[in-house]
C-alpha cells in the first residue's frame, strides 16, 4: 500500500510539473506576441505621423485621439494648439527613473511629449515602491527604465519611449544628450549632477534639476535660455549656483536619511511642470524675461511650504559657462574632468583598524543571547532605534555625539572624572571597564563614534576595548538573524 501511495504521489507531482511547464511556455508565447504587437503599434503610429507630415498642411494637425487626450490642457491659454504641437515634437531625457523621474515621466507622457528617454542602470527594489510610483511589485528585479516604460505605455501609447539601461558616464553623456531638446536631472548624487549640467550647457540644452531628502526638496531651471559659454545672457548652470560640491562625508542619500514619498513626488511633478513651461513657451527669450532664474525650496512640515530665492546670472569665473571656461566636451569624454575626484569619494573610508572592529557573526558567537551582557551602544537616531534594536543596547544618536561640545581630552585614561566627559555618555558606561561595542545601520557612523570615545580617553590607554560591529545591522541580518527588519 505504501509503495502504491508513493507511486500515486509521484504521478501527481509529474503531472503538476508538466502543467506548469505548459503554462510557462504559453505565457512566454503570449509575452512574445505582446512584444510584436507593441512594436507593430509603434511602427503604425510612426508611419501615420510621418504620412501626415508628408502630406503638407492638413485640416487638423493632430490625430483624433490626441484631441481627446489633450483637450483639457489645450484649452489652457498658456498651451493652446501650438503648445501641444511643440510638446508632440519635443524630445525630453530624464536621467534617473526613481523617485523624481517616475512622477516627472508620468506627467510628461500624459501631457503628450513626443519622445521620452529614460536613463538608469538600477533595477527595481521593494524599498523603492513607496515613492517610485511607476514601478510595480511584480517588476522587482527588473530594470527601472523597462518597468517605467511599461507603465508609461499603459498610460499613453502615443509617445516614443527610449530606454538607456545604464548609468550615465562622462564618455557617453554627450552622445546621449545630443538626441534630446531638454534634460531633467532626476539623480541623487553630486558627481552626476555636475556631469549633467556641464554636458547640457556645452550642448545648449536647458536643464530642469530637482532634489529631495526626508521632508524637503529643491528645484531649479538651469541654462535657460541656453547660450554658449561666455554669453552673459544665458541662464546660470549648476556650477554657477554651487561652485564647490558639498564635503563628501556630508552627502546623505535617501537610503541613509530617509524620504517621504509625496515629497519627492511633489518635486518630480514640479519638474514636469517646468519642463512643459520651457517647451511651450513662445520663445526662450520670453521665458527668460518672465521667469528669472530661481531656486524653489519645498518643506513639507513648514507653515509656508514653498520659498523662492532669486538666483544670480552666470558667474564670470564659472568653469563651464563663462568666457574662462576650462570644462569642454573633450575634457568630459576624455576623463580629464574627473567628477569623482572633484566631488570626493562617496565610499566611506575605513576609520578603524582590524583590531578595533568585530564581525556581526563573531560578536554573536562571543556573546550568545547577550551573555555575558556586553555594553553595546546603538548610534542610529531614535526613530530607527524604535524600529528594531538589540536587547539591552543603549541608544545614543550620532547627531548627539557630533553636536556635543568637545571637552578637554581625558588624560592618562582617567574617565572617572565626569567633568571631563560630555553628558551623552551614561555614567554606567563611563565608570566601567567593560568593553564597548558600537553599532549603526551600515557600519559607518559607528566608526566615528568609536573614534570620538577614544579621543575622550574612554579606552583607558588601550586597557579597555572600544570598537564597532563591522557592517552594522545590514551585516547582522546577513550573518546572524535573517528575520532582522530590512529597511
Catalytic residues: 254, 440
Other Cβ atoms less than 10 A from the Cβ of 122: the count is 14
Q: Which of 61, 64, 73, 62 is nearest to 108 (CA)?
A: 73
DSSP 8-state symbol, 370: G
By the 8 A CB rule, do 390 and 370 touch?
Answer: yes
Contact partners, residue 232, CB within 8 Å, separation at least 6:
313, 314
**Cα–Cα–Cα angle for 42, 43, 47, rounded to 5 degrees:** 120
Q: Around 108, how many Cα atoms within 13 Å sit in the side-chain half-sphere?
A: 41
Residues in Cβ contact with 458 at an 8 Å cutoff, skipping those fewer than 6 apart: 410, 415, 421, 425, 429, 430, 436, 464, 466
Does residue 215 contact residue 301 with C-beta atoms inside 8 Å? yes
> Residue 313 has which C-alpha cell?
546670472
CB neighbour class for 320 (10 Å; exposed up to 12, middle 13-18, buried from 19): buried
Q: Which helix (H) or strand (E) holds 5?
A: helix 2-54
The gap between the terminal CA atoms of the chain, to the nearest Å, is 51
Set of cell numbers at residue 185: 536631472
- C-alpha to C-alpha distance for 376 and 126, rounded to whole angstroms: 30
All cell numbers assigned to 1:
500500500
CA 76 to chain CA mean position, Å = 33
Structure-block grid coordinates of residue 140: 522587482
Q: Which residues of 277-302 are buried (b: 16+ CB within 10 A; e: fewer)?
A: bbbbbeebeebbeeeebeebebeeee
Q: Degrees (nearest 5) of the Cα angle 85, 88, 93? A: 135
Q: How many Cβ atoms sit within 10 Å of the Cβ of residue 254?
A: 18
Q: Is 190 exposed, middle or buried (0-12, 13-18, 19+ CB in 10 A)?
A: buried
Amino acid at each position: 500500500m505504501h509503495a502504491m501511495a508513493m507511486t500515486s504521489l509521484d504521478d501527481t507531482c509529474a503531472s503538476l510539473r508538466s502543467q506548469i511547464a505548459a503554462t510557462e511556455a504559453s505565457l512566454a508565447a503570449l509575452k512574445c506576441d505582446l512584444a510584436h504587437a507593441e512594436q507593430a503599434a509603434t511602427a503604425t503610429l510612426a508611419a501615420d505621423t510621418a504620412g501626415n507630415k508628408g502630406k503638407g498642411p492638413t485640416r487638423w494637425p493632430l490625430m483624433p485621439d490626441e484631441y481627446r487626450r489633450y483637450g483639457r490642457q489645450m484649452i489652457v491659454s498658456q498651451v493652446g494648439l501650438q503648445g501641444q504641437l511643440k510638446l508632440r515634437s519635443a524630445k525630453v531625457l530624464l536621467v534617473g527613473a526613481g523617485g523624481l523621474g517616475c512622477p516627472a515621466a508620468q506627467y510628461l507622457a500624459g501631457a503628450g511629449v513626443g519622445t521620452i528617454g529614460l536613463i538608469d542602470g538600477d533595477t527595481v527594489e521593494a524599498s523603492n515602491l513607496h515613492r517610485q510610483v511607476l514601478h510595480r511589485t511584480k517588476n522587482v528585479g527588473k530594470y527601472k527604465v523597462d518597468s517605467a516604460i511599461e507603465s508609461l505605455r499603459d498610460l499613453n501609447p502615443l509617445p516614443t519611449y527610449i530606454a538607456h539601461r545604464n548609468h550615465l558616464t562622462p564618455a557617453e553623456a554627450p552622445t546621449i544628450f545630443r538626441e534630446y531638446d531638454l534634460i531633467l536631472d532626476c539623480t541623487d548624487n553630486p558627481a552626476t549632477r555636475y556631469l549633467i549640467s556641464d554636458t547640457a550647457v556645452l550642448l545648449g540644452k536647458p536643464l530642469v534639476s530637482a532634489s529631495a531628502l526626508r521632508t524637503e526638496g529643491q528645484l531649479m531651471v538651469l541654462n535657460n535660455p541656453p547660450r554658449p559659454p561666455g554669453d552673459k545672457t544665458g541662464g546660470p548652470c549648476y556650477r554657477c549656483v554651487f561652485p564647490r560640491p558639498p564635503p563628501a562625508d556630508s552627502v546623505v542619500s535617501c537610503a541613509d536619511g530617509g524620504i517621504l514619498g509625496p515629497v519627492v513626488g511633489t518635486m518630480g511633478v514640479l519638474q514636469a511642470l517646468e519642463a512643459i513651461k520651457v517647451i511651450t513657451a513662445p520663445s526662450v527669450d520670453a521665458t527668460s524675461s518672465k521667469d528669472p532664474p530661481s531656486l524653489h525650496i519645498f518643506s513639507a512640515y513648514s507653515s509656508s511650504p514653498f520659498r523662492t530665492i532669486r538666483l544670480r546670472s552666470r558667474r564670470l569665473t564659472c568653469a563651464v559657462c563663462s568666457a574662462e571656461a576650462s570644462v569642454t566636451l573633450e575634457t568630459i569624454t576624455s576623463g580629464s574632468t574627473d567628477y569623482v575626484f572633484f566631488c570626493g569619494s562617496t565610499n566611506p573610508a575605513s576609520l578603524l583598524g582590524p583590531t578595533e572592529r568585530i564581525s556581526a557573526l563573531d560578536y554573536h558567537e562571543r556573546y550568545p543571547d547577550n551573555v555575558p551582557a556586553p555594553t553595546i551602544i546603538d548610534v542610529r537616531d531614535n526613530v530607527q532605534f524604535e524600529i528594531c534594536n538589540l536587547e539591552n543596547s543603549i541608544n545614543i544618536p550620532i547627531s548627539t555625539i557630533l553636536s556635543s561640545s568637545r571637552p578637554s581630552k581625558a588624560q592618562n585614561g582617567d574617565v572617572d572624572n565626569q567633568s571631563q566627559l560630555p553628558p551623552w555618555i551614561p555614567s554606567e558606561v563611563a565608570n566601567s571597564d567593560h568593553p564597548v561595542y558600537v553599532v549603526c545601520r551600515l557600519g559607518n557612523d559607528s566608526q566615528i563614534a568609536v573614534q570620538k570615545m577614544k579621543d575622550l580617553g574612554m579606552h583607558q590607554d588601550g586597557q579597555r576595548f572600544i570598537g564597532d560591529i563591522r557592517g552594522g545591522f545590514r551585516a547582522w541580518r546577513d550573518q546572524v538573524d535573517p528575520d532582522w527588519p530590512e529597511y
